[in-house]
Copies of this chain bind each other. A is one copy, B any other.
Amino acid sequence: MTGAEKRRTARISQILDAAALCFVEMGFHRAGMAKIAARAKMSPGHIYHYFESKEAIIAAIVDRESAKAAERFAELDAVDSNELASVMTERAIQSIEEKTDILQSALNMEMLAECQRNPEIACIIQRHDKYIRDQLTHLIGNKIGLDLAEARTDMMMVQFSGLANRLLRNPDMDLSSMIALMRQTMQSILTPDTIGDHV
């Protein structure tokens, strides 16, 4: 990466972080480009140089998440099929322990609420979700070789979304004492024929 590219990347990152804070603190509707610029300590013109609208900023925030996820999926795709279920469970637990934070959770809620009134944002969120789902379904169905791969994928994602949601409703939640239960739940979602009795 050249110096100019690095500066550009840093600048964009600075805008996305400032925008995320503004969306959470003011709500998407009130967080105008001028407020995002002030928060990022840039001129509004400078922001418009990179992003034409708040929706474009949301798209970039979501794309940044997709890029991080793509790296993790590439790593998982290289894991031996026999070990994949346990590696996926441990990675999931690790990411819950490290990365479950209030700001990210609140931003997700704000974006999901906005989905109902802004079709452009709904489209961005649902496209990202489909990307994550396709990757997980590939790992679960093709590599681990489980049936009901789409449903198992959605159930894995229920755990992540649900936890983010819980964190906002119960700020005293003891994440560490939930980890063992979460591991067990994820293991059972990634285990064959355990649901045979109930189908």
Q: Which A positions have Cβ atoms within 8 angstroms of B?
A: 24-30, 102, 106, 108-110, 112-117, 125-126, 129-130, 133, 148, 150-152, 154-155, 157-166, 168-171, 173-174, 177-178, 180-185, 188-189, 194-195, 198-199
Contact = CB atoms under 8 A, between A and B. Distances in A.
A146 to B, nearest CB: 11
B116 A113 contact: no
B113 A155 contact: no
A161 B115 CA distance: 17
Contacts of A28: 27
Contacts of A125: 168-169
A150 B198 CA distance: 27
Nearest to A160: B162
Contacts of A24: 113, 116-117
Contacts of A181: 148, 151-152, 155, 189, 195
